[in-house]
Amino acid sequence: MKNNLLELINEILANSDREPIRTLDEEVSLRHDIGFDSIDLAVFTVNIENIFEVDIFETGNIDTIKDVLERLNK
Question: Using one digit for the tens of pLDDT, what is the confidence trace for 5-41?
Answer: 999 999 999 999 999 999 999 999 999 999 999 999 9
CATH of the domain at 8: 1.10.1200.10
Mapped onto helix, strand or coil, the DSSP state of residue 20 is coil
Rounded Cα–Cα distance for residues 18 and 55 (Å): 26
Neighbours of 22 (CB within 10 A): 7
Q: Considering the entire predicted model, what is its pTM?
A: 0.89
What pLDDT shows up at residue 34? 96
Contacts of 25 (CB under 8 A, 6+ apart): 65
Which residues on neighbouring strands pair with residue 29, listed in sequence order?
64
Q: Which domain holds residue 55?
A: 2-72
What are the φ/ψ torsions at residue 71 (nearest 5 degrees)?
-70, -35
* Domains held by the chain: number: 1
